[in-house]
Amino acid sequence: MAVILGGIHNPHRGVIAKEIVDAVLVRRADGNSPAVYHTQAEQERRLRSMFEKWCSIEGVWSAAASKVCHALSHPSWSNCPQSMASI
């Protein structure tokens, strides 16, 4: 959660955390069964979509988010208005 600007003080943090979990997991683990994960390709697609959605809202992603996304070579992520790709 270090990539969220303001960390625990960001009013969007809880929603973003849930969306990250939902992007990765089909179903959470419970007492009787293990967690079920989306495929890697589906996780990437869902995470990219979630990141891009939140790019339209000022004050969500820190400079670290853009650096991580840039380092992961996801070109569409560098289209974020908050992108720090030039750093």
Which residues fall within 8 angstroms of residue 30, CB to CB, at 6 or more apart? none
Write the pLDDT tens digit of every residue in 9-63: 888 899 999 999 999 999 999 999 999 999 999 998 998 888 888 887 877 887 7
Give the SS3 label for residue 64. helix
pTM of structure: 0.70
pLDDT bin (cut points 50, 70, 90) of residue 66 is low
Check the CA dihedral 73-66-60-79 and report its sign: negative
HSE value, Cβ hemisphere, 13 Å, CA-based, for 57: 13
Domain segments of the chain: what residues?
7-79
Give the Cα separation of 46 and 8 in Å (integer): 23
